[in-house]
A and B are shown apart, each in its own frame.
Chain A
């Protein structure tokens, strides 16, 4: 049996396609990357079928090429995201996201008694474990784990 293939989100000429985003993380990813505030053309698809993820989301941003430091921010919510760099309708490069060593201003510290949850302070964590995801708060020194993960 041949599989019927069809693009679920239309192609872009130049820019970046972020694929394999867990469906429920789509809007978090949009937020983290600040896509809601840039003038570029953006198309996205939510709840698309995915053999890997069940339901996935995809974002296509025209004329935008992300720096590693920028795109790696989404690794916490979309660890398996794949980037396709598109030039003239062709995929010229594929990239994975990678969890950075330090995470600044994205995640909330889970500790309600941490100063960052009581005053207006940018959060800062050192990543102690990338597989199990353990984030050590630079301020209160407590560990926030994946199950406690909340975005700022």
Chain B
């Protein structure tokens, strides 16, 4: 993985994923390991994403490296019309590693081809966000003790949710069983069903949030109004995919509720106090996972 860009979760094999998770646990046990004291990391956020940026920059700082960059394109030369190519060519002269967030899909792959240093994709439009996927996997492994043979419920916007797509692809290495819970308009796209069928992975599609007693992981996502072509349809379904504490009553002891955050109303605040709520801890895991990814790419661990 040394010097290899991380653009898409499919860039990593099963063994590489497991190696990152092992490293993440190592950084969680001791977060202050300034092994990158002589390095400079560029953090290029062509669109704002405070949560992801702070998580990355915390990881970089805990590794002892310096950060250069910008937090939205208004304060970069993009506002003067500079292309991604030119920005990347220039920055790769300065930094040892580039972390990049960009609204256009495929921009990260393109940047990785133009840069002389490795690129970590921190989200390219609706396409990929592989570090989110790895921190989801880390959270799942940590709470379940394994990634193998789990029953995973994915709820909400399964059509456009990139975190859902990347996570199901990554979990496909570990013999999962999926329940896809979504309104018809936001159902899981055909290409992912074909992908799962090819890999012989069992899945169930359901429009109602029931059978939760089977779940090991409940992965919630936001159902956004602007995704619906018919606003009436949104009004009709919006409350069908809200998780309330009472619904967790007969669920498994080991069940954990995950959410990539930010949440709006899809998890009622009465769930927050439940020992099964894991979404805030999940965000914290992001720092250790990103430390692991950076250290692995820089060849330091």
Contacts and interface: CB of A to CB of B under 8 A. Distances in A.
A139 B108 CA distance: 8
A5 interface: no
B94 interface: no
A110 to B, nearest CB: 12
Interface in A135-152: 137-143
Given A114-B105, A115-B105, A139-B105, A121 B8 contact: no
Given A139-B105, A141-B8, A142-B105, A115 B110 contact: yes
Interface string B95-122: 0000000111111011000000000000
Interface string A98-126: 00000000000101011110111100000
24 contacts: A109-B106, A111-B105, A113-B125, A113-B126, A115-B102, A115-B104, A115-B105, A119-B83, A119-B84, A139-B105, A139-B107, A139-B109, A139-B110, A140-B106, A140-B124, A140-B125, A140-B127, A141-B105, A141-B106, A141-B127, A141-B128, A142-B105, A142-B127, A143-B191
B9 to A, nearest CB: 11
Given A139-B110, A140-B124, A141-B105, 7 more contacts: A115-B104, A115-B109, A115-B110, A118-B104, A138-B106, A141-B128, A142-B105
Question: Which A-B residue pairs are the 5 nearest by beta carbons?
Answer: A139-B106, A140-B105, A140-B106, A115-B106, A115-B107
B163 to A, nearest CB: 15
Most buried by B among A114, A120, A140, A142: A140
Contacts, number: 49
Interface string B37-55: 0000000000000000000
Interface of A is mostly: loop
Contacts of B128: 141
A114 B124 CA distance: 10
Most buried by A among B85, B102, B106, B110: B106
B193 to A, nearest CB: 13
B191 A114 contact: no
A142 B84 CA distance: 20
Interface in B126-151: 126-128
Nearest to A128: B191
A137 B106 contact: yes
A98 B122 CA distance: 38
Nearest to B86: A119
A113 B104 contact: yes
Contacts of A139: 105-107, 109-110
A19 B85 CA distance: 42
Nearest to B104: A115
Contact of B85 (A119, A137, A141): A119
A126 to B, nearest CB: 12
Most buried by B among A115, A138, A143: A115
A87 B146 CA distance: 68
B251 to A, nearest CB: 34
B267 to A, nearest CB: 29
A124 to B, nearest CB: 10
